[in-house]
Amino acid sequence: MGNTECFSVDFSKNPARPYFSAAFTDGYVRIWSLTDLVNNEGTLDKPKFEIENGVVLGPVDVKFNSEGNRIAASSVDSSLRVFNILESTEG
């Protein structure tokens, strides 16, 4: 993640999707699994999901929807983008 600053953080309110997200000045929106972090299966250096160009000019805010399967990111350029969070169904 290098030289980038975080401007917004949100936590999913759905217990089935215990995620938290952050929007960064490098344009990425990164999402981590709290379960993975607690179980030492993940680290802050390796988010579960990364959305390149999640924000264009600079982050203002990120928010999960109530189900925790979508995230909205707003930017200084007045844009708002909504992304689906798709989990692998390997099995």
91 pLDDT tier (thresholds 50, 70, 90): very low
**Residue type at 33 in one-letter notation:** S
**pLDDT of 90:** 47
**Residue type at 76 in one-letter notation:** V
Query: Do residues 64 and 71 lie in contact, with contact meaning Cβ atoms separated by under 8 Å?
Result: yes
Q: What is the pLDDT of residues 27-70, one digit of tens each?
A: 999 999 999 999 998 899 999 999 998 998 888 999 999 999 99
Query: Do residues 7 and 57 lie in contact, with contact meaning Cβ atoms separated by under 8 Å?
Result: no
